[in-house]
Structure 1
Amino acid sequence: MNVRPVLDANASAGGGNLGNLPEWDLTDLYAAPDAPELKRDLDWLEASCKSFASDYEGKIAGLDARGFLEMVERHEKIENIAGRIMSFAGLRYYQNTTDPDRAKFLSDAQEKITVYTTPLVFFSLEINRLEDAAYADLFDADADLARYKPAFDRIRAMKPYQLSDEMEKFLHDMGVVGDAWERLFDETISGLEFEVDGEVMGIEGTLNCLTEQDRAKREAAARELARVFAGNIRTFARVHNTQTKEKEVMDRWRGMPTPQTGRHLANDVEPEVVEALRDAVVAAYPKLSHRYYELKRKWLGLERMQVWDRNAPLPMETTRTVDWDEARETVMNAYSEFDPKMAEIAEPFFSKGWIDAAVTPGKAPGAFAHPTVTNVHPYVLLNYLGKPRDVMTLAHELGHGVHQVLAAGQGEMLSSTPLTLAETASVFGEMLTFRRMLRNAKDDAERKVLLAGKVEDMINTVVRQIAFYDFECKLHEARRSGELTPDDINALWMSVQAESLGPAFDFMDGYETFWAYIPHFVHSPFYVYAYAFGDGLVNALYANYEEAPDGFQEKYFDMLKAGGSKHHTDLLAPFGLDATDPAFWDKGLSMISGLIDELEAMED
């Protein structure tokens, strides 16, 4: 029942006079924290969980297909109400994580729902105790029930790692403890203050300074980030040590063979597919990030690159602010050009209070699209500051939103996609926006800036995220041998940075602490490879679209509508694509390499 939004690791930021930025209207969930409808739903949830357990605990094996379907529908209703409550509490909290009233409201809601739903722990346990033949017969006997089989197959995948009923209930109740550590991380990050050139700002504004044209300002921001992270490093190390140890204990008790196993199961993806992706990306570092950053070093006129130059604008790039109306028009035109239906689905996000765009004190950094529940709608969080890359962040999160709207028809159990597929529509939305902007470029200089920006985004999505994945693998492995000091974690971070970024870079003192602000390491261990998976998938999809555009949109929308009801092999089959083929990833990486080829050719 944990429905916390997942912050996107690739969110970027800018600055300037931005126009009228939208704020969330959460009244489609509840009118207020003290709304009578909220109390009504909490009371209903408590009673419904008790009655569900009374009616079904110890009895699932005796149900026929019709009775099983009725049970599933009752469980979905419980999921829906719990998800609605937690979405409201969570979204309010992420608007201002430093507000104690919002933090208390979220904590109280989490604790109540944890207590109310503890009687439901038996549900998945008894499902997994069904004999294989009886399980198969249930879904063969009823077509209405059969559509739910993919969701139950994913539950059954956890069967080898299931503990006793009492232990599972204990772990369910203890979940609020792990949530508290995550909130400590969020509140610490959101409460940090940085001073750059006499201006005090939060983390979003400071990270934004790393994309300024003025190199001295970029350096000042990088050094201030390092100073503040160092001052808080013991807190961040404690959070990471605790969360990683908690996962190690859980994995050990469950008999998980690797720290990554749980994520692969949740993503419904084979470990060998992820390792093939990881290996392909690492092997491609020289022809991707190493080659690109050497080009960028020359453009910047530097002997050596520093970490504050990684996301620097190009010298020929005009410093400008993209106001909100222009960003909206750019993305909506790209979506509409692909298919008017896509823009039609996206429109309410702008007109009905489904986007919260402004940077405000205490607001969670980064960006996300949260689906809430299937009978409401998604909400998008941005920290929009007006850089051209912010337009891509909008395109990315709006892609998630479109996907979530289309998948809602599957219902609570089947609408949610594995993380690997969840990035498909978001990265595809970015690609549509980029390609339209590239077609409309006024001259070679603008085209070069756009190409370089897209290559950097792809490197951040593929190379950087796989480096993050390798860091996490090393972190979890090292923690198994004992407590890690901040210096230990710093060393693990640096061990992947030079390898991924390449020989053009030097690393300032203090950069070793920059692992501290990445939310995924705390909130969603091993999530990050999903970005690389999504980018490779979209590159292959977009190539398919260019080669055979007729009928592509219909197949694409069908894929998004499927939500989590199909395995990635079934979703990709209509396009003639297969992610289990190791060569599949090389095709996606070749698209990035080809863009770098174009940039090199422009040097001649």
Structure 2
Amino acid sequence: MSFTANRAILPHETAERASTGTAIEGLPEWSLGDFYAGPNDPALAADLASLAEDSRRFEAEYKGTLAERLAAPEGGATLAAALKAYEALEDRAGRIGSYAGLLYATDTTDPVHAKTYGDVSDKLTSLATHLLFFGLELNRIDDAVMAKALGDPAAAHYRPFIEDLRKERPYQLSDDLERLFLDKSASSRTAWTRLFDDTIASLRVEMEGSEGKVTLEEALNKLLDPKEAVRKAASEGIAASLKSEERTFTLITNTLAKDKEVSDRWRGFPDVASSRHLANRVEAEVVDALVSAVTDAYPRLSHRYYAMKAKWFGKDALDTWDRNAPLPEADDRTISWADAKNTVMTSFGGFSPQLAELAGRFFDNPWIDAPVRPGKAPGAFAHPTVPSAHPYVLLNYQGRSRDVMTLAHELGHGVHQILAGPNGALMAPTPLTLAETASVFGEMLTFRQLLAEAPDARTRRVMLASKVEDMLNTVVRQIAFYTFERHVHTERREGELTTERLGQIWMDVSRESLGPSVRLQDGYEAFWAYIPHFINAPFYVYAYAFGDCLVNSLYGVYEREPAGFQEKYFALLSAGGTKHHSELLAPFGLDARDPAFWTTGLSVIEGLIDELAAADSAAG
């Protein structure tokens, strides 16, 4: 067990969702004043001190006595009281950790922010050692004793948490070993992850034709520039920049993969991704079915689409820097923040006034940080913080249509997090496989509205192509990323991987997934190095593909049977982490264990490609 504050803050998709553009006026910046006035606020130190004292008191109260006390006649009341107290400690720690993490994301190069983040992380890890016993002892309690204790109405509220916790029993170590793993995390995984973040933030890219060097985020944005010369310069500059730190990235990757292998071996996980599947509360067979369905569909999806795009560009194959390039006839206007807000809010409101009201809170309050700044965390994310507070959204908004879709995506996350909050700190967090539901659904609502309002066939074609590319990046690319990780972690069990081997694996899975109509130039073999998910949360990436296919199926249900859909949809989001995916999807007549579920989701992408092909035939 660990504090909820230790959850990683990850961008949605760094390069795949980036965009180009100039500075936009009127962009909001968040205020972290709901937590603390600043890193030197005396309240921060006071809260850490009181949390430490209360954590030690909790340990003294319950450690070594749970089994006996739960077996007593008043065991149910004891369990309820202990869980309520533990949950309160989790929430308090989450507030502190969320503040430090969000502050750091604001400017990862600020030494004060970095020190605050590091110091708070160390202290929370130290405090967590006083609470580590709780989950371990709960899992050692006899099933019959636990069942009887959960008969108490107050304790029964926490049944989903207990049931999830007990799924971890086969992989639980002794108290001393668990404490060692926790204590060492600050000087092992956490430290190496921070080194990666700091290295990425400090990278500067030299681009031919550009005045001075730019940040990696700015260079990634240039891969979507309408001018091929700019895209090529960005691609080559990024490759050179990543290669300049390739020894560091290789060392970080090897070290963290070995760290995970040690943990997996001691815990007895049978597969390199087993711990992620357990955390996601999803069966390995379900993930395997998803991966198989997507890889089998590569020729019908990515290979076919990129062949079409190459023809649109008048090339026999797309170059590395062309894959996400806008179409030649694409609208390159800059979308103001006000227009972006109006588009998203209108589409949300068209589905449900409740959805628009919840999303509107982020605009009415300083909960969004949108400008691009040096040192700011790349990409975009929605961080739930804790139920007693509210989520925050980070964007790097630069005024393109993809940025509007990213806004819809992250607001979907934020709405989901608000709705799940009443479940409390222990049960509000949603498994990653379901955490993408509201975000991708929000994107779909926004896209469908924009498509319906398209003024002409040309605009509709551009929008369809853009949506297809987003879906390919969310499904095909993420499964390729998952395949890359599986190769890396499997081979690491036999020894270290060289930079050259990492690049070879990256190129192999990229060629397989992208197909023969994408020509990967020299230098692309280094692009694996900047993907933060590989470092912060191994095997996280398949959740994007899971979520996209799930939403495609959900949206199909909504179009066929709109009556009563909203009620079931909000019930799904409000469940947080209290129900298994099979239970949540059953009201919609969906089952992720059925191979047809994934085929249905992928057919939506294929249908959009069919529509593009039909438009080409009609025009030609």
Using the size of structure 1 for normalisation, the TM-score is: 0.99
Partner of 2:607: 594
Partner of 2:302: 289
Partner of 2:182: 172
2:316 and 2:196 mapped to 1: Cα distance? 38
For the Cα contact (< 8 Å) 1:3–1:83, is it kept in 2? no
In the TM superposition, residue 400 of structure 1 has moved relative to its aligned partner by 0.2
The alignment partner of 1:72 has SS state of helix
Question: Out of 356, 370, 375, which is 1:343 matched to?
Answer: 356
Q: What letter corresponds to residue 588 of structure 2 in structure 1?
A: F
The alignment partner of 2:206 has SS state of strand
In the TM superposition, residue 4 of structure 1 has moved relative to its aligned partner by 3.1
Partner of 1:500: 513
2:231 and 2:11 mapped to 1: Cα distance? 24
Tell me whether 429-438 or 296-305 shows the greater mean CA deviation.
Answer: 296-305
1:165 and 1:513 mapped to 2: Cα distance? 41
Q: How does 1:132-281 map to 2 (within 5 A)?
A: 132-139=143-150, 141-177=151-187, 178-196=189-207, 197-199=209-211, 200-281=213-294
Per-residue CA distance 1:13-60 (angstroms, 9 max, x = gap):
221242211111101111222223222211211011101110100111
Partner of 1:90: 101
Partner of 2:468: 455
1:240 and 1:179 mapped to 2: Cα distance? 13
Q: What letter corresponds to residue 421 of structure 1 in structure 2?
A: L
For the Cα contact (< 8 Å) 2:8–2:537, is it kept in 1? no
Partner of 2:7: 3
1:217 and 1:52 mapped to 2: Cα distance? 59
Per-residue CA distance 1:373-406 (angstroms, 9 max, x = gap):
1011000011111111111111111100000011
1:369 and 1:334 mapped to 2: Cα distance? 19
Q: How does 1:434-449 map to 2 (within 5 A)?
A: 434-449=447-462
Q: What letter corresponds to residue 10 of structure 2 in structure 1?
A: V
Partner of 1:20: 26
1:191 and 1:434 mapped to 2: Cα distance? 35
Question: Out of 47, 55, 62, which is 2:61 matched to?
Answer: 55
In the TM superposition, residue 147 of structure 1 has moved relative to its aligned partner by 2.7
Partner of 2:51: 45
Q: What letter corresponds to residue 230 of structure 2 in structure 1?
A: K
Partner of 2:87: 76
In the TM superposition, residue 295 of structure 1 has moved relative to its aligned partner by 0.7
Runs (5+) with no aligned partner, structure 1: none
Partner of 1:35: 41
For the Cα contact (< 8 Å) 1:14–1:390, is it kept in 2? no
For the Cα contact (< 8 Å) 2:55–2:89, is it kept in 1? yes
Per-residue CA distance 1:175-201 (angstroms, 9 max, x = gap):
112111111111111111112222321
1:262 and 1:162 mapped to 2: Cα distance? 12
Question: Out of 135, 138, 141, which is 1:130 matched to?
Answer: 141
Closer/same/farther in 2, CA of residues 152 and 11 from structure 1, 3 Å limit: farther
Per-residue CA distance 1:81-131 (angstroms, 9 max, x = gap):
110000001100011111111111111111111112201111111111111
2:224 and 2:210 mapped to 1: Cα distance? 18
Tell me whether 34-43 or 300-309 shows the greater mean CA deviation.
Answer: 34-43
Q: What letter corresponds to residue 591 of structure 2 in structure 1?
A: D
The alignment partner of 2:296 has SS state of helix
Question: Out of 537, 549, 558, which is 2:562 matched to?
Answer: 549
Q: Does 1:481 align with 2:494?
A: yes
Per-residue CA distance 1:291-323 (angstroms, 9 max, x = gap):
111110111111221110100101111221112
Q: Does 1:537 align with 2:550?
A: yes
Partner of 2:573: 560
For the Cα contact (< 8 Å) 2:370–2:395, is it kept in 1? yes
Where do 4+ consecutive residues of structure 1 move more than 4 Å?
Answer: none
Per-residue CA distance 1:430-470 (angstroms, 9 max, x = gap):
00000000000000000000100100000000000000000
Q: What letter corresponds to residue 489 of structure 1 in structure 2?
A: L
1:324 and 1:205 mapped to 2: Cα distance? 19
For the Cα contact (< 8 Å) 1:469–1:526, is it kept in 2? yes
Using the size of structure 2 for normalisation, the TM-score is: 0.96
Q: What letter corresponds to residue 344 of structure 2 in structure 1?
A: V
For the Cα contact (< 8 Å) 1:3–1:86, is it kept in 2? no
1:574 and 1:48 mapped to 2: Cα distance? 42
Closer/same/farther in 2, CA of residues 49 and 17 from structure 1, 3 Å limit: closer
1:146 and 1:310 mapped to 2: Cα distance? 52
CA RMSD of aligned residues (A): 1.0
Tell me whether 27-36 or 275-284 shows the greater mean CA deviation.
Answer: 27-36
Runs (5+) with no aligned partner, structure 2: none
Tell me whether 341-350 or 409-418 shows the greater mean CA deviation.
Answer: 341-350
For the Cα contact (< 8 Å) 1:150–1:566, is it kept in 2? yes
Question: Out of 565, 574, 577, which is 2:587 matched to?
Answer: 574
Q: What letter corresponds to residue 117 of structure 2 in structure 1?
A: L
For the Cα contact (< 8 Å) 2:294–2:602, is it kept in 1? yes
The alignment partner of 1:27 has SS state of coil
For the Cα contact (< 8 Å) 2:391–2:418, is it kept in 1? yes
The alignment partner of 2:539 has SS state of coil
1:17 and 1:292 mapped to 2: Cα distance? 32
The alignment partner of 2:519 has SS state of coil
Partner of 1:66: 77
The alignment partner of 2:393 has SS state of strand
In the TM superposition, residue 158 of structure 1 has moved relative to its aligned partner by 1.2
